[in-house]
Amino acid sequence: MQSAPAVSQIPTNSASIRTAELFKEQQQSIVKHTDLLFARLMICQWLAGVAAALLISPRTWIGLQSQTHVHVWAAILLGGIVTSLPVWLALRQPGQVSTRHAVAVGQMLMSALLIHLTGGRIETHFHVFGSLAILAFYRDWRVLISASAVVYADHLLRGFFWPQSVYGVLAAPIWRSLEHAGWVIFEVAFLMISIRKSRSEMLVVAERQSGLESMKETIEQTVAERTVDLTREIAERREAEKSLKLSQEQLAHAQQIARLGSWEWDIIPNKVTWSEETRRLYGFAPEDSGCVMEESWKRVHPDDRAKVKEALDQSVQRNQPYNCEHRVLLPDGTERIMQGRAEIVLNESGKAIKMIGTTQDVTETRQATEALRRTEEQFRQSQKMEAVGRLAGGVAHDFNNLLTVIGGYSSVMQLKIGANDPLQRIASEIGQAAERAGGLTRQLLALSRKQVLQPRVLDLNEVVTGMGRMLQRLIGENIELRTVFDHSLGHVLADPGQIEQVILNMAVNARDAMPNGGKLTISTSNVTLDQKTMFRNRGLEVGHYVMLAISDSGVGMSEEVKAHLFEPFFTTKGVDKGTGLGLATCYGIICQSGGDVRVYSEPNRGTTFKVYLPRTNQSQESLVAIQDSKTLPTGTESILIVEDDFSVRRLAAMILSECGYKVQEACNAAEALALVEKKVRFDLVITDVIMPQMSGKELYDRLKVIVPKTKVLFMSGYTDDALAHHGVLEAGLSFLEKPFSPVRLARSVREILDQASAGKNGKE
């Protein structure tokens, strides 16, 4: 017996996908309807079973007592149990495979119950065949198998244990169950054939419906495509008509935007024609079109006519493209730069008969190229300055060591010889030369912000007052210098020499902005910022500041100039009148000092620079004491000098020995640690920062473990970034920059030792 075709047997290629979808939709619809049919049918069967039990055997006798027959309760309870689950599934989950198999099992169990209630009457056996026929509505042969299995199992078990409930006799042989099974198999075989045929018909219907849908889609697509084609053809025809009408106008407009014109030279008749844009670029009149080539040269700059003629002749003679850049003089006297290009057209014999070309106004392009060249030159200059800064930073250590020795020994000579000694002037000149060399190194490092600042607590009022005479001589007599001070001005922590350089550079810029004289005003005030402000991508945080304002009544600046004001090499002073480094250096100094600067200016309205420096609560040092270069403090403490440069080490040892200190020397950190480990006590260790094998900071960290009470003074001639990398510029550490004078060395040593002594006494 052949089984009915499954859905998986349906072709699944691209042409049959829709057929399979339609077949599945149709099958699912039939299954859902059959589920709902059985939901109603099984409820009716249950009620019919209860009615049959009430009619056939409503009561039973036990002795003299009569009571409800057990069949009635079986019809009510068993019938309800068998019916409830399939009905619930059919109503809640129609279409599911589990639902129809539950219905099949329930239907067969209900048939078994009806056979039992009627005492195995043959009429009720037909209920099984009717149920199988109705189950065939599912078009699923597997449901018939489930139902048949339930029927056979019921007849086999009940026929063996309780034959009267199935066959209506007290005893029945086994062949009775096989007989009934044979009838069921006979019916199921025919039902399966019917299901297979029904499914085949469903597949044919699905294929026809799919074909109709495909045909409909094809027709609709064909109509749509043809409609689109017709619409496009009509639109293209209209667009072609419109393009043909406007092509000349569009070409002329495009040439005008690109400042690119076309021209044509018929060589044999020597006739030149050109486009409207070419006529406009050269300033020709409309009637000039069609003139001879020589006549068209009248707009070419006289100095470039020979070049143009030579380029045209070579192009015609050698049959090569024409390419020539030349100047033109327009009727209003304007000079423009044109780029001409053309190709040669040859006849069959290879002779040039025509030249077709273009001409483009490249004036702005050439100007931009020139500006780019100047920018590249400035960039190269910037790279040179960066190289100078790196070179200065690289040699600063050795150079500052030499300056330390030169300046130190010149100062010692001045202290040892008499004031009237002829060598006094020579020693003074040596010392001044060493100071100028040290200043030169700091200036080279200023632009790249690599110099080591020597910040002090300053009163900007005193700084400006001290520069008064120098500033007046610098700006000239035709400029009035005014100062407006806030007498309650707070203090700032900054390098006085660098702040003076900022003021000088800004004063020079103000002077140059007032060539016919004017007014320069320097003012100070306390400022509190309650919100963060930004300038040149740098933020000025909320806090208390001291403001130094430098204002002039000069020519002022545009917004474009202000945007580039602090860039290196940017200047508006002309050739040989400025390097463009002054304000860039000022900006670097101010930023390195923890401050910022703002610029306020308009053309012909003057300029104001406002420098903001953080306010400090530290007390101001006496400038007189700082400038006293003749007094060397003395002492009797024990000092260890760790320096890998022999000359610097010997100089420092000599100076401190003459000041009364007990001095020992070490050429490196390892030698210094060896002395300390031998229990040699030192009140102060003076160490170079960068040395072979072990740095001064590493030596400091070792000493803090071995002798934590020993004070350490760092000294170095390296730049700020190198020292920051070694961590010796941190707060709480003492540092002495090279080159240093004997006075600075002696004062620094005395200050550290006095601070240590004061701290010890305070603890006591």
Q: What is the pLDDT of residues 523-551, one digit of tens each?
A: 999 988 877 766 655 667 788 889 899 99
Query: What pLDDT is attached to residue 641?
Result: 92
Query: What pLDDT is attached to residue 422?
Result: 78
- Which has the minimum average pLDDT: 280-284, 285-289, 393-397? 393-397
Query: What pLDDT is attached to residue 524?
Result: 92
Query: What pLDDT is attached to residue 377?
Result: 64
The yes/no answer on whether domain 628-763 falls in CATH 3.40.50.2300 is: yes
Are 259-361 and 460-619 in the same CATH fold?
A: no
* Contact call for residues 687 and 700 (beta carbons, < 8 A): yes
**324: enclosing H helix or E strand:** strand 322-329
- Which has the minimum average pLDDT: 301-315, 614-628, 639-653? 614-628
CA–CA gap between residue 135 and residue 656 (Å, rounded): 119
What CATH architecture is 259-361?
A: 2-Layer Sandwich (3.30)
Residue 30 has pLDDT above 50, yes or no: yes
**The model's pTM:** 0.40
- Torsion angle, CA of 169/173/174/177, rounded to 10 degrees? -30
Q: What is the mean pLDDT of the chain?
A: 77
Residue 609: name the closest of 547, 651, 687, 538 by CA. 547
CA–CA gap between residue 273 and residue 354 (Å, rounded): 12
- The domain 460-619 is placed in CATH, from the list 1.10.150.450, 3.30.565.10, 3.10.450.50, 3.90.1150.10, at 3.30.565.10
What's the DSSP call for residue 268?
A: T
Query: What pLDDT is attached to residue 521?
Result: 92
**Stretch 150-164: mean pLDDT:** 73
**Stretch 457-469: mean pLDDT:** 86
Give the pLDDT confidence of 626-656 residue by residue, as tens digits. Answer: 444 467 888 889 999 998 888 888 988 888 9
CA–CA gap between residue 278 and residue 275 (Å, rounded): 5
pLDDT band at 12 (very low <50, low <70, confident <90, very high): very low
Residue 726 has pLDDT above 50, yes or no: no
Residue 753: name the closest of 669, 686, 694 by CA. 686
Query: What pLDDT is attached to residue 663?
Result: 92
pLDDT band at 732 (very low <50, low <70, confident <90, very high): low
- Which has the minimum average pLDDT: 73-77, 681-685, 753-757? 73-77
- Which has the minimum average pLDDT: 2-6, 34-38, 134-138, 601-605? 2-6
Residue spans per domain, the chain? 7-215, 259-361, 460-619, 628-763
* Contact call for residues 571 and 578 (beta carbons, < 8 A): yes
Residue type, 357: G
- Which has the minimum average pLDDT: 4-8, 81-85, 91-95, 651-655? 4-8
